[in-house]
Structure 1
Amino acid sequence: MRKRNPSLIGIVARRIIAFSLLAMVLQIGVVFADYWFDDDKLSVLMLQQETETLARAITTQDGLLRYKPGHELRERYLELDGRAGAIYVRVRTASGSVLFSNCTTQCAEHFLPLSVNAPSFWKRLIEPGKPFSVAGGQSFERNGESVLVELAILKDPNGFMYAALLHEMFDSMIVPMTLMFCLVIGATIWSIRSALTPVAMAVTAADAIDPRDSGARLPITRMPQEIERLVSAVNRLLARVADLVQSQKVFSSSIAHEIRTPVSIAKMELSRIDDPRARNAERDLDALTHILEQLTSLARADAVDPSAYQWASLSEIGAEVAQTTAPFVFDHEKSIEFVDHPTTPVTVIPALVENMLRNLIENAVKHNPPGTRIVLTCGPGPQVCVEDDGKGLVDLPEHNADLGYVKRSGQLGLGMKIVHRIAELHKARISIDTEPDRGTKITIDFAAAA
């Protein structure tokens, strides 16, 4: 099974995803390096985020400010469980009233004096290097009063620095870049689909091209320039193919017409010669004439004008063919019978359907012994059937579709080639039921033309 080619949208989408992820990784690396190598910026970011977290526990009770840290805050800031380093927290009002503190002398050592008015933000370095040892505070408005949350971190026992880095990259990089990535890939897919809509129309038009229409071309309206050049090249190819096909049609039709006259003259001259060899030559000329007629029929089938299709009755066509071929059948010591069942009108080219039935009857006559009974049946419904009780088909032409196929009987398989070509023009389905010494039944279903 042939592997399907990837779609253009899939190719572009995968590349956008790959390069977007690469851009995200590079940008995250740049942001990480920017903060990691700037201790002052990173420590400020850490203190701001941690004091905001601590400020969530500031509440108001009976009009008074209270600070009640819950289990999560105590576990994060106050309960170190013997880890190296220390964390000191103090929450006070602008007037110097302490709402919460977990330190005594350490608070006096690391924090601002209570007599100093609470600033909006302050920070000082306790010890240089990582893990951070810094102290700082940030003011928050609660119930119309300023509350200063102060935090001293020694040796960063809980990894606040890394949490601040992750938080900053997530908020400032990952979320906005993900949104941008989704918008970009969505806009790209929409743009590609819009650009390929004319291409899909061209594909539909290509599938609908009638090979008999020499003027059929693919549309190039609203196509991107790159694809328009390809479609224009295909249209030029269609024009060259149409010229070639037309030349072949003219050649096959002309040669059959031009040869018919000298063959007739040769037969006339041979008829005046009383010699067995003259009779053999006449038979050879008859065979040549028959082949030329078949070639002409095949060329005519390839040069059909779409406007030639019309509503017709299969029963009327079958009756006409049975009547005109009866003398030929009787001359070869066979019999023919016409059976008419109710048929439905179909859109066909009557002359070609007559040609098809005539070829089937001629094949049944030529390839079966004397006494063979041939039955032409029309219906029921949009179908015709030619059946005989002869020796059955020795060669099935559908297995050898080449025009030059020579059957084991030594004859060209043009009759069935014409039948298949005419059936193809009418989108008819051919079924062949044959058995040695039990005859052949060929049914042609015109349901698609009904």
Structure 2
Amino acid sequence: MSGHRRKRLAGLVGRRILAFALLAMLLQVAMVFARYWFDDEELGHILVERETEAIAASIHRVNGLLTLDPDAPVVDRYMGDVDDIDGGGRADDDGAALDHLPPATFVRIRGADGRIIHSNCGEECEEHFLPPPGNAPDFWQRAIEPGKPLSVAGGRAFVIDGERVLVDVAVLHDPGHFLGSILTYEMIDHMLVPMGLMLVLTVGATILSIGAALRPVSAAARAADALDPRSPTSLSIDAAMPSEVAGLVEAINRLFSRAAEIMTAQKVFSAAVAHEIRTPLAVLRLELDRIDDPRARRAEADIERLLHILEQLTDLARLDVVEEAAFVETDLAALAADVVADMAPLVLDRGATIAYEGAGPVVVRLVPSLIQNVVRNLIENSLKHAGRGVDIVVTVCEDGSLTVSDNGSGFVPREARGEFGRVKASGSLGLGLTIVERIAVLHGAALSIRSAPGEGSSARVAFVRS
């Protein structure tokens, strides 16, 4: 698997939905803004409603009389000359009249009988507000000047503690930036909040739905990864699988079936070729033994190499048909020592030495014949690379590792998986290490090769101890 972490489908779809939803929200914001910005009557209506409601909420009965709470936040926007119902003026802590209100923001609060509860204007009230009729409307509004900044006047009737109260406001040229607050409130309350909640629910439901729909896919992937290519079985199709996923599983089953047929054909071909060629080559070698000529000896050497390649090809073909019952608890140390003893005459004949080092029994679950092949191939590999005069040491450690090392000239190892088995400069196929690697994978062991020019080489197979 690549080190790059792949993105999950639910995350990809969720991000795309989020991006399109945000784009839709921006377009909706623009539309709502345009709608309110070009509708001065609607903006004025909202301004009058909001301001009169805020003012009415700050009116309380004190000593039997309705009065405006001086500590209410809304009062700061309408501070100025004040006339309450007893005709008194409101002053700050220094006794000075609160008359520093911007002259373009006015408010007047009256009782049903026309009594002034609160006011910060004089002639302006008469100019912009309705006269005190006996039955004022529950709501009124009119534009003072068209266009922006907003200039509007209006009023509403409220019932506070059983008494009808009329609240009138007038805003000229929007000195308190009412328009900005109105637009912001409308955007947040009527558009951003509901659309944001819908967006969260939509993205969450999408991620959950995709995750639930892809759960059978993940299960099928795990099942496919656990299949043994040497004895493939079909993946089961869950009834909860969507039809698209079931079609994918069926395609994978067909792929495994074709792969099994190809592997079977390859094994039959390899075994047949090795069997059919081995006998003629053996006969040819016997015939060459009777010829006393240097060219016959060179031909014998070529035949030996060809027989060795056939033996290795046969070994590779056999690796595809190893059954689980072939794995048995085996003393790796004793097995390696026996192979060293068997290989010693060949090693000595090549002008090299071989030794075994071990620390008692090391029990590992393995296929004995295959591990014997591993030890032989590694010893032969050292002989090929190091040549005459090399010292080979086979070591089995208590941790279940098998190491074959030498003090030869060394080489530059091919570390990348799949590099083994390429045609080398010497003309050989290098199948020995390929066989070792395949057997190591079959046993769940790790193969590592360490070598450098002039420093010898070492091949280590780390098994899992029983």
The TM-score by the shorter chain falls in which range? Answer: 0.7 to 0.9
Matched, 1:29 2:25: no
Amino acid at match of 1:445: A
Q: In 1, distance between residues paired with 2:446 and 2:423?
A: 22
Matched with 2:84 is: none
Q: In 1, distance between residues paired with 2:26 and 2:36?
A: 16
Q: In 1, distance between residues paired with 2:289 and 2:229?
A: 44
Q: In 1, distance between residues paired with 2:101 and 2:298?
A: 121
Q: Alpha-carbon deviation of 1:353? A: 0.2
Contact persistence 1:342–1:381 (CA under 8 A): no
Change in Cα spacing, 1:144 to 1:385, as seen in structure 2 (3 Å) is: same
Matched, 1:91 2:109: yes
Contact persistence 2:412–2:452 (CA under 8 A): no
Matched with 2:146 is: 129
Q: In 1, distance between residues paired with 2:252 and 2:350?
A: 52
Amino acid at match of 1:32: F
TM-score (structure 1 length as normaliser): 0.82
Bigger mean CA deviation after superposition, 424-433 or 3-12 = 3-12
Partner residue of 2:439 out of 395, 410, 422: 422
SS in 2 for 1:381: coil
Q: In 2, distance between residues paired with 1:348 and 1:333?
A: 32
Contact persistence 1:205–1:219 (CA under 8 A): no
Amino acid at match of 2:364: V
Amino acid at match of 1:11: L
Count of aligned pairs between the two proteins: 445
What pairs up with 1:239-388 in 2 under 5 angstroms? 239-271=257-289, 278-326=296-344, 328-329=346-347, 336-364=354-382, 374-388=392-406
Task: Return 5+ residue gaps in structure 2 as ranges.
Answer: 81-98
What pairs up with 1:67-216 in 2 under 5 angstroms? 67-70=68-71, 72-78=73-79, 86-108=104-126, 110-114=128-132, 116-117=134-135, 119=137, 121-125=138-142, 127=144, 129-131=146-148, 132-205=150-223, 207-215=225-233
Q: In 2, distance between residues paired with 1:73 and 1:435?
A: 86
Change in Cα spacing, 1:277 to 1:218, as seen in structure 2 (3 Å) is: farther
Change in Cα spacing, 1:105 to 1:356, as seen in structure 2 (3 Å) is: closer
Contact persistence 2:77–2:101 (CA under 8 A): no
Identity rate of aligned residues, in percent? 43
* 1:331-356 alpha-carbon deviations (Å, 9 max, x no partner): 65665544442243222221100111
Q: In 2, distance between residues paired with 1:398 and 1:36?
A: 70
Change in Cα spacing, 1:329 to 1:166, as seen in structure 2 (3 Å) is: closer
Q: In 2, distance between residues paired with 1:310 and 1:356?
A: 16
SS in 2 for 1:312: strand
Q: In 1, distance between residues paired with 2:136 and 2:100?
A: 32
Q: Alpha-carbon deviation of 1:49? A: 0.7
Task: Return 5+ residue gaps in structure 1 as ranges.
Answer: none
Q: Alpha-carbon deviation of 1:44? A: 2.0
Bigger mean CA deviation after superposition, 259-268 or 437-446 = 437-446
Matched, 1:443 2:460: yes
Q: Alpha-carbon deviation of 1:47? A: 0.9
SS in 2 for 1:19: helix
Q: Alpha-carbon deviation of 1:323? A: 4.3
Q: In 2, distance between residues paired with 1:26 and 1:438?
A: 71
Amino acid at match of 1:26: L
Contact persistence 2:399–2:465 (CA under 8 A): no
Q: How much is the aligned-residue C-alpha RMSD, in angstroms?
A: 3.8
Bigger mean CA deviation after superposition, 10-19 or 166-175 = 10-19
Change in Cα spacing, 1:37 to 1:439, as seen in structure 2 (3 Å) is: closer
Q: Alpha-carbon deviation of 1:223? A: 4.8
Q: In 2, distance between residues paired with 1:38 and 1:439?
A: 89
Q: Alpha-carbon deviation of 1:180? A: 1.6
Q: In 2, distance between residues paired with 1:14 and 1:353?
A: 52
Change in Cα spacing, 1:395 to 1:302, as seen in structure 2 (3 Å) is: farther
Matched with 2:48 is: 47
Change in Cα spacing, 1:218 to 1:360, as seen in structure 2 (3 Å) is: farther
Change in Cα spacing, 1:146 to 1:332, as seen in structure 2 (3 Å) is: same
Q: In 1, distance between residues paired with 2:293 and 2:231?
A: 51
Matched with 2:91 is: none
Contact persistence 2:353–2:389 (CA under 8 A): yes
